[in-house]
């Protein structure tokens, strides 16, 4: 196959299959967040060392920017929790919770605090969930995409080299 131009097509297909597989794996990375049981931020401190800390709200506010922070366990140890990149919801006891922020690497003994950037009155409630497996699945997806890309590049290079060698030897490539 490396002697014919179909080798290039095989390389493209390898890359596409790698991207599709990586997308499927990455989409599954959000399943633990989608299926999480939430805890109100006022109830207890989060123990999320080595795990993902997901923050939810019960009132969607698409027109406002919500800033969330993980405070503690030491006095001046505040970490901003980045906003969620996709919309994920979970339902607990009839209440639908919308993901607003995700901290990939949490720590133990933190208090989650969320406030709107505009500092106006906020009637929303906030909750958090500590989930496992999100970052590892995302890393696996990234690895699959890179392996697919490298395999495609390898097949392309091998096809090019084989066809070039055949041309130099006077053989007509297929």
- Global pTM reads 0.68
From 28, 53, 21, select the one nearest 39 (Cα to Cα).
Answer: 53
What is the rounded distance in angstroms from the CA atom of residue 92 to the CA atom of residue 84?
19
* pLDDT at site 129: 87
Total domain count, the chain: 2
Residues 80 and 16 in one domain: no
Residues 71 and 123 in one domain: yes
* Cis upstream peptide for 93 (omega within 30°): no
Residues 15 and 88 in one domain: no
* pLDDT at site 133: 67
Q: Would you state the structure tokens that stand for residue 47, as one six-digit string?
A: 């123990």
Residue-wise pLDDT tens for the chain (174 aa)? 667 788 889 999 999 999 999 998 888 877 788 888 888 888 878 877 878 888 999 888 888 888 888 887 777 778 888 888 888 888 888 888 888 988 888 788 888 888 888 888 888 889 888 888 666 777 888 999 999 999 999 999 999 998 888 888 877 666
Q: Which domain holds residue 80?
A: 31-132
């Amino acid at each position: 196959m490396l002697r014919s131009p179909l080798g290039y097509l095989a390389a493209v297909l390898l890359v596409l299959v790698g991207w599709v597989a990586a997308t499927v794996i990455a989409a599954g990375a959000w399943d633990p967040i989608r299926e999480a049981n939430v805890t109100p931020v006022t109830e207890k401190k989060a123990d999320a060392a080595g795990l993902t800390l997901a923050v939810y709200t019960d009132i969607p506010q698409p027109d406002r920017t919500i800033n969330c922070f993980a405070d503690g366990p030491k006095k001046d140890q505040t970490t901003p929790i980045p906003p969620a990149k996709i919309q994920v919801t979970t339902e607990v006891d009839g209440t639908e919770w919308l993901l607003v922020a995700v901290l990939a690497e949490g720590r133990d003994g933190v208090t989650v605090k969320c406030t709107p950037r505009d500092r106006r009155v906020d009637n929303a409630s906030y909750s958090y969930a500590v989930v496992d497996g999100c970052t590892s699945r995302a890393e696996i997806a990234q690895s699959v995409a890179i392996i697919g890309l490298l395999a495609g590049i390898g097949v392309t290079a091998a096809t090019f080299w084989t066809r070039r060698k055949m041309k130099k030897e006077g053989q007509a490539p297929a």
